[in-house]
């Protein structure tokens, strides 16, 4: 390993690292160490780069560097139609692509002033909750692996595999789904898919308990996380944390409850909070949230209405493929939507949903054209990462891994 | 009991009677536009007022209108956990004086959000504690989300790192 010198770090980053200190750069590099963690570090969950100023093994300052996965999705969104952007939302939070698909189409529908039929909404709710379980399973598994409990990772990924199989039946793709459409979903949920969901929820809780027994009775796991990276409720709100990380600090904020979208207001579930605010609490919130998701999915399966899964609104919603081949009107609409877009009325909206990682918001500005004039992605991972420098201060270098794991960032989303 | 739009309007009109504050509503969302000079005072009032308590800053971004007189609009989305109410704030910024006061002293979240807006649109945030680029390398000269920046990029503008 090469020692990092002053020339390797941009002067502005050095300046940020050396804030609140009167020692000079030369001194700092002499007495304290600046350690470069990432972007190719397995515990940073992607390409997150952290520059750490260390005194011995204690972290004095931390400066995260983002942008290694910056693909310019906001710029790309301005240059494509609303339909064309659906596959790109898969690549934001790639651990829960279905939830992103739903978030995007809800935003576009709000902008266009349309609403999908009830059955489509129920299917969307079901896939959002399944995506939440899948994402939390990876979060718990990877988190446990970061602090040294390898077995749990294999067990949680086994469970996630079953959800990917459901995606496979539902839309033909396991990973990058692009299942939703503006005004509905791509195809109705097949009976086999619903049967598989039913089977999954019936056996899931037992398997989760099994995973949890491995962790909750593991003294090393508990002691490495308890009291590590504590963030108070006030600080958490000030720093803009959302999702499980915020609820781990005891703040009862869940957009499914406070600003219900789809049919969440008809669902009976509990918003999980833990008051401690440390890394362990954030893990508990995630594990308990999957239980609530199971509860919601059970209600969805019971209540799911029959009917259409795509809105009949020819100017805004793509017609069915079979009709394009046989009817002239549909062919014209298909041509217009594919080539010129759906032209929502002039206006701007901000639509936010509760994603596994936190609040995923889309801010869309329309000028009445087929393409958005502006699309801002408010990604939870990006905002949540901002808390890392505040949390790691004063902790040991091995705690950095635990803290980043407990925030559960996905860099595809943080870098957009 | 949710917060009424009239109450916000009345409170702001009372507090900033001399200022030109415009209230608009679209698809059930309230937007407040004001001059960029009062952005810090308005934000602090909205956060600290006992009845409003907009404590969560969800998003700070900007819009590039390309041909308008005031080329940029800085947009803030703030949320009141107490009232379950979301509010958009807007302030116009002209290209000739491309700067606005930072609100990162009010909401710490705004720190990174404003850095992103600076990176993407080149809007300077005065009194920002650490105004660096967020995504692009520090040496990069352009601001990619401006409408005059081509989609394919500018060849040679982002050189490979030296060996």
The partner residues of A396 in beta bridges, in order of sequence, read A58
Per-residue pLDDT, averaged over A233-262, amounts to: 89
Q: Which of B62, B79, B81, B153 to mutate to probe the A interface, most A CBs <10 Å?
A: B79
DSSP type of residue A315: T
- Is the confidence at residue B2, as pLDDT, over 70? no
- The stretch A203-207 carries a mean pLDDT of 90
- The string of pLDDT tens digits covering residues A98-157 is 999 999 999 999 998 898 999 999 999 999 999 999 999 999 998 888 888 888 889 999
B79: Cβ–Cβ under 8 A, 6 or more apart, which residues? B54, B55, B56, B57, B58, B85, B86, B87
Least confident of A250-259, A371-380, B17-26, B102-111: B17-26
pLDDT above 90 for A229: no
Binary contact (B112, A383; C-beta < 8 A): yes
For residue B136, list chain A residues with Cβ-Cβ distance below 8 A.
67, 70
* DSSP labels, A226-277: TTSS---HHHHHHTT--THHHHTTT----HHHHS--TTGGG--------SS-
Q: CA angle A306-A333-A329, nearest 5°?
A: 85
Computed on alpha carbons and rounded to an integer, the radius of gyration of chain B in Å comes to: 17
In this complex, is the C-beta atom of B150 within 8 Å of any C-beta atom belonging to chain A?
Answer: no
The answer to whether A37 and A392 are in contact (CB under 8 A) is no
Residues from A in contact with B at Cβ < 8 Å: 10, 12-13, 16, 19, 66-67, 70, 72, 74-76, 79, 110-111, 113, 237-240, 242, 251, 253, 258-259, 347-350, 352, 359, 361, 363, 365, 373-374, 376, 378, 382-383, 385-386, 415-416
Q: What is the pLDDT of residue A1?
A: 45
In chain B, % of residues over pLDDT 90: 10
Direct distance between the N- and C-terminal alpha carbons of chain B, in angstroms, rounded to an integer:
61
Q: Is the pLDDT of residue A26 over 70?
A: no
SS (H, E, C) chain B: CCCCHHHHHHHHHHHCCCCCCEEEEECCEEEEEECHHHHHHHHHHHHHCCCCCCCEEEEEEEEECCCCCCCEEEEEEEEECCCCEEEEEEEEECCCCCEEECCCCCCCCHHHHHHHHHHHHCCEEECCCCCCCCCCCCCCCCCCCCCCCCCCCCCCCCCCCCC
Name the residue among A16, A361, A363 with its Cβ closest to that of B130: A16
Please give the pLDDT value at position A20: 66
pLDDT score of A259: 87
Which CATH number applies to A83-311: 1.10.645.10, 1.10.287.810, 3.40.50.12160, 1.20.1260.10?
1.10.645.10
Q: How many CB atoms lie within 10 A of CB A160?
A: 19
Contact flag B58-A258 (C-beta cutoff 8 Å): no
Per CB-CB distance under 8 Å, the chain A contacts of B29 are 349-350
Q: How confident is the model at residue B36 (pLDDT cuts 50, 70, 90)?
A: confident
* Whole-number pLDDT of residue A296: 92
| pLDDT tens per residue across span A183-197 | 888 888 889 999 999
Q: CB-based contact (8 Å) between B134 and chain A?
A: yes
What is the mean predicted confidence (pLDDT) over B135-161? 84
| pLDDT tens-place string over residues B78-90 | 998 888 888 899 9
Confidence of residue B69 (pLDDT cuts 50, 70, 90): confident
In sequence order, the 6+-apart residues with CB closer than 8 A to the CB of A406 are A143, A225, A228, A229, A245, A248, A279, A282, A283
- Residue A72's pLDDT is 87
What are the backbone dihedrals phi and psi of residue A408, each rounded to the nearest 5 degrees, phi first?
60, 60
Q: How confident is the model over A269-289, as pLDDT tens digits?
A: 999 999 888 889 999 999 999
pLDDT 10s digits, A250-259: 888 888 888 8
For all residues of chain A together, what is the average pLDDT? 87
Q: Confirm or reject CATH 3.90.180.10 for domain B5-126, answering yes or no.
A: no
Question: Cβ–Cβ of A378/B136 closer than 8 Å?
Answer: no
pLDDT-based confidence at residue A27 (cuts at 50, 70, 90): low
> Does B106 reach chain A within 8 Å, measured CB to CB?
no
- The 3-state DSSP class for residue A173 equals coil
For residue B14, what are the CA distances in angstroms to A345, A355, B10, B11, B21? 34, 38, 6, 5, 11
Q: What number does CATH give the domain A1-68+382-416?
A: 3.30.390
How far apart are the CA of A12 and the nearest CA of chain B, in angstroms?
7
Question: B57 at the A interface (CB within 8 A)?
Answer: yes
Chain B closest-CA separation from residue A75 CA (Å): 6
Does residue B141 carry a pLDDT above 80? yes
pLDDT computed for residue A25 by the predictor: 56
Which candidate from B26, B64, B134 shows the least CB-CB separation from A67?
B134
B146 interfacial to chain A (CB closer than 8 Å): no
Instruction: Provide, rounded to the nearest whole percent, the portion of chain A with pLDDT above 70.
Output: 95
- Which residue did the predictor score with more confidence, B158 or A220? A220
pLDDT at B1: 46
pLDDT at A2 (0 to 100) = 54
CB contacts of A73 in chain B (<8 Å) are none
Q: Is B71 on the interface with A (CB under 8 A)?
A: no
pLDDT for A32 beyond 80: no
Q: Do B27 and A113 touch (CB under 8 A)?
A: yes
B56 contact A CB<8A = yes
- pLDDT (0 to 100) of residue A37: 83
pLDDT at A384 over 60: yes
DSSP 8-state assignment for residue A310: B
In this prediction, residue A285 carries a pLDDT of 92
Distance CA A397, CA B2 (A): 45
> Would you call B144 and A75 a contact, using CB atoms and an 8 Å cutoff?
yes
Gap from A253 CA to chain B (nearest CA, Å): 7
Q: In this complex, is the C-beta atom of B61 within 8 Å of any C-beta atom belonging to chain A? A: yes
What are the structural domain ranges in chain B?
A: 5-126
Tell me the per-residue pLDDT of A343-362, one tens digit each, with 9 for 90 and over. Answer: 888 889 999 999 999 899 99
What is each CA distance from B35 to A38, B93, B100, in whole angstroms? 42, 9, 10
- Say whether B77 and A350 touch across the interface (CB within 8 A): yes
Please check the confidence at residue A24 and state whether its pLDDT lies above 60: no
The number of beta carbons lying within 10 Å of the beta carbon of residue B96 is 7
Can you tell me the mean pLDDT for A73-80? Answer: 90
Residue A208, exposed/middle/buried by CB under 10 A (0-12, 13-18, 19+)? buried
């Amino acid at each position: 390993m090469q020692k990092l010198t002053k020339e390797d770090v941009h002067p502005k980053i050095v300046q940020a690292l050396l804030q609140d200190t009167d020692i000079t750069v030369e001194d700092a590099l002499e007495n304290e160490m600046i350690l470069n963690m990432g972007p190719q570090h397995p515990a940073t969950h992607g390409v997150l780069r952290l520059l750490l100023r260390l005194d011995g093994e204690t972290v004095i300052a931390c400066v995260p560097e983002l942008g290694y996965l910056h693909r310019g999705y906001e710029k790309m969104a301005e240059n494509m139609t609303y339909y064309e952007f659906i596959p790109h939302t898969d690549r934001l939070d790639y651990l829960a692509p279905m939830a992103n698909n739903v978030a995007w189409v809800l935003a576009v529908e709000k902008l266009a002033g349309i609403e999908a039929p009830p059955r489509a909404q129920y299917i969307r709710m079901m896939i959002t909750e399944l995506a939440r379980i899948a994402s939390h399973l990876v979060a718990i598994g990877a988190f446990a692996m970061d602090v040294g409990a390898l077995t749990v990772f294999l067990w949680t990924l086994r469970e996630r595999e079953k959800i990917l199989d459901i995606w496979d039946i539902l839309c033909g793709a396991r990973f990058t789904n692009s299942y939703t459409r503006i005004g509905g979903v791509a195809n109705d949920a097949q009976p086999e898919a619903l049967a598989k969901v039913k089977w999954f929820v019936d056996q899931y809780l037992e398997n989760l308990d099994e995973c949890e027994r491995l962790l909750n009775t593991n003294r090393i796991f508990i002691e490495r996380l308890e009291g590590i990276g504590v963030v108070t409720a006030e600080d958490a709100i000030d720093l803009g944390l959302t999702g499980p990380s915020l609820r781990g600090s005891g703040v009862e904020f869940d957009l499914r409850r406070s600003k219900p979208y789809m049919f969440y207001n008809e669902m009976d579930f509990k918003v999980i909070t833990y008051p401690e605010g440390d890394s362990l609490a954030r893990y508990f919130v995630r594990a308990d949230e999957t239980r609530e998701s199971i509860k919601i999915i059970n209600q969805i399966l019971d209540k799911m209405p029959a009917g259409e899964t795509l809105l009949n609104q020819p100017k805004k919603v793509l017609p069915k493929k079979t009709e394009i081949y046989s009817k002239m009107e549909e062919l014209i609409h298909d041509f217009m939507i594919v080539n010129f877009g759906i032209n929502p009325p002039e206006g701007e909206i901000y639509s936010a949903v509760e994603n596994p990682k936190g609040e995923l918001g889309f801010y869309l500005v329309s000028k009445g054209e087929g393409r958005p004039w502006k699309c801002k992605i408010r990604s939870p991972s990006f905002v949540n990462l901002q808390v890392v420098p505040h949390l790691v201060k004063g902790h040991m270098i091995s705690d950095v891994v635990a803290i980043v794991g407990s925030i559960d960032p996905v860099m595809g989303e943080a870098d957009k | 009991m949710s917060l009424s739009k009239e109450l916000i309007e009345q409170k702001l009109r009372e507090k900033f009677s001399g200022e030109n504050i415009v209230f608009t509503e679209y698809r059930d969302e309230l937007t407040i536009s004001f001059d960029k000079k009062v952005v810090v005072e308005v934000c602090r009032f909205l956060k600290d007022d006992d009845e409003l308590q907009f404590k969560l800053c969800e998003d700070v971004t900007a819009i590039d209108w390309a041909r308008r007189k005031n080329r940029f609009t800085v947009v803030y989305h703030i949320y009141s956990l107490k009232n379950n109410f979301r509010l958009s704030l807007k302030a116009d910024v002209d290209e000739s004086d491309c700067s606005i006061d930072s609100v990162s002293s009010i909401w710490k979240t705004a720190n990174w959000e404003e850095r992103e807006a600076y990176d993407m649109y080149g809007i300077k945030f005065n009194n920002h504690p650490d105004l660096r680029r967020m995504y692009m390398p520090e040496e990069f000269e352009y601001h990619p989300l401006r409408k005059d920046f081509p989609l394919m990029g500018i060849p040679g503008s982002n050189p490979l790192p030296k060996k």
